[in-house]
A and B are shown apart, each in its own frame.
Chain A
């Protein structure tokens, strides 16, 4: 219902814009334009006052909170395993066009609620994507998600080079498995160079003998 109201607010914006565009008589047009401007300012102010997003009218609440470095933070971290059994970080463009951090948020939400079969479908999908990116990089090409403009492509919201990616030796052999970990960390610990704590959630394909 809320989504439809939000769609309705855009529809009103478009309707008022069409009214302004269609008005021929100058005084009518000025009135229509003034109503359009007033409506846009009103919606924008309402969104800001309530903090409720009505995209593309946004409350811009990103990064409005305080990040306490003594809090424990958590996210899902995927890592891939090549056919020699060595583990590598998944490429930050494996989940493109979703930004890497959004993929982590999606996984955080989904993996809690999925049964093993659902988790395996997620694993198979991301493993195939990671392998495709690996092949491209091994051939000296950019990942397809990096854009059509080469180095001038817009990066994702968090700079992708802040996330680990496999070194050249990690691109040489095909990936055969993907592991999903829950990572925990505190800012103060990472600041002092301590690694994140990783807890294995599951691996795809499931190792032989593992419970299905």
Chain B
């Protein structure tokens, strides 16, 4: 038990440079700002006709606070942009990050909530919301501050959440489809399916026609997703898995047409300090 507690302390609470925490703040807030500016009409969804909102359960509305008129939502959207900009530039960033995290928790569902419970994925803000709140709970760090245990746990927790994106995606594939998901045949079928949109993604036919390429994609997906938590502990794992994941996201967009909005957050694993 003592050894476990010591390992826990060493991983989460060891003295660390403030730079990964500062980098986490900049990367997460810039990412959320990028997404928010890319969805300027997010707040207008509340003014869509009632027929679109009829099947949104009352509990879902309560959970996300979706009762305000469009004019109020527009104000909240602007407020979220301001809070994200303050967080990005480090101006009173702890309260700003708290406001931004809470407002994104409220605003992000507008992108999909009227599709009912079938589509609660909220396009890209999934990691930003808890990460912004974690930044708000942490002590305020500046680039040249001295090492402290206060600087270790916030970026490590955000990284752990992001690593979970891959690992739990691996678990979900095993649970839903089983090991057969990670076969050349499944990847080929996926590429064929992707080619059935109005236009095929540029590499879908190329991929589907090559069994070896499909097998490589299947194996790489299994390796990256299953082993990604290792990046939390090993510099070597970061050097291998983070670039592989980045290449994978480009490949997925080109062959399957699917955009993983959180992909820029791979920058969280760049070597922002000399510590592992």
Report the minimal beta-carbon distance from A34 to chain B, rounded to whole angstroms.
7
Question: Nearest A residue to B138 by beta-carbon distance?
Answer: A21
The contact of A73 among B175, B196, B198, by CB within 8 Å, is B196
Q: Interface size of A by Cβ–Cβ distance < 8 Å?
A: 80
Question: Are B130 and A13 interface neighbours, CB within 8 A?
Answer: yes
Whether the Cβ atoms of A110 and B52 lie closer than 8 Å is yes
Interface residues as binary, A58-82 with B (CB distance below 8 Å gives 1, 0 otherwise): 1111111111110001000000000
B83 beta carbon closer than 8 Å to chain A: no
A64 touches B137 (CB 8 A): no
Contact B189 A187 (CB under 8 A): yes
Q: Is the interface of B mostly helix, strand, loop or mixed?
A: helix
CB contact between A66 and one of B49, B127, B172, B189 (< 8 Å): that residue: B189
A57 to B60, CA, bound (A): 16
Decide yes or no whether B80 CB sits under 8 A from chain A.
no
Q: Is the CB of B123 within 8 A of A60?
A: no
> By the criterion CB–CB under 8 Å, are B176 and A65 in contact?
yes
Q: A17-B134, A155-B259, A157-B261 are in contact. Are A118 and B38 (CB under 8 A)?
A: no
Residue of B nearest to A16 (CB): B137
CA separation between A125 and B48, bound complex, in Å? 8
Q: Which B residues are in CB contact (< 8 Å) with A49? A: 171
Categorize the interface residue count of chain B: 35 or more
Within 106-121 of B, Cβ neighbours of A (below 8 Å) are at: 109-112, 114-116, 118-121
Considering only residues 137-168 of chain B, those with a C-beta below 8 Å from chain A are: 137-138, 149, 153, 157, 160-161, 164-165, 167-168
Say whether B114 contacts A106, CB under 8 Å. yes
Q: Nearest residue in A to B114 (C-beta to C-beta)?
A: A106
Q: Is the CB of B51 within 8 A of A114?
A: yes
Most buried by A among B160, B165, B168, B186: B168
Contacts A102-B112, A148-B38; is A66 near B261 (CB within 8 Å)?
no
**B172, A60: Cβ atoms under 8 Å?**
yes
* Pair B62/A57 contact, Cβ less than 8 Å: no
> Closest residue to A44 on the B side, CB-wise?
B164
Q: Is B34 an interface residue (CB 8 A)?
A: yes
Please, how many angstroms separate the alpha-carbon atoms of A144 and B257 in the complex? 22
Q: Closest CB-CB distance, B130 to chain A, in whole Å?
A: 5
Cβ of B63 within 8 Å of any chain A Cβ, yes or no, is yes
Q: Is there contact, CB below 8 Å, between A34 and B51? A: no
Q: How many A-B residue pairs have CB under 8 A?
A: 231
Closest chain B residue to A95, Cβ basis = B48
A-facing residues in B178-228 (Cβ within 8 Å): 180-181, 186, 189-190, 192-193, 195-201, 208
User: Do residues B173 and A89 form an inter-chain contact, with CB atoms below 8 A?
Assistant: no
B contact residues around A125 at 8 Å (CB):
48-49, 52
B253 surroundings in chain A (CB, below 8 A): 159
Q: Are A164 and B181 in contact (CB under 8 A)?
A: no
User: By the criterion CB–CB under 8 Å, are A56 and B196 in contact?
Assistant: no
When distances are taken between beta carbons in the complex, the residues of chain B under 8 Å from A60 are 164-165, 168-169, 172
Q: Is the CB of A97 within 8 A of B44?
A: yes
A149: interface (CB < 8 Å): yes
Asked if A148 and B45 make an inter-chain contact with CB atoms under 8 angstroms apart, the answer reads: no
Q: Specify which of A69, A144, A157 is in contact with B192 (CB 8 Å cutoff).
A: A69
From 253 to 276 in chain B, residues with beta carbon under 8 angstroms from any chain A beta carbon are 253, 257-259, 261
Q: Interface 1/0s, chain A 8-43, versus B by CB < 8 A?
A: 001001100110110000000010011011001100
9 A–B contacts from the bound complex (CB under 8 Å)? A33-B13, A58-B165, A61-B169, A63-B190, A64-B177, A98-B111, A102-B119, A109-B118, A122-B52
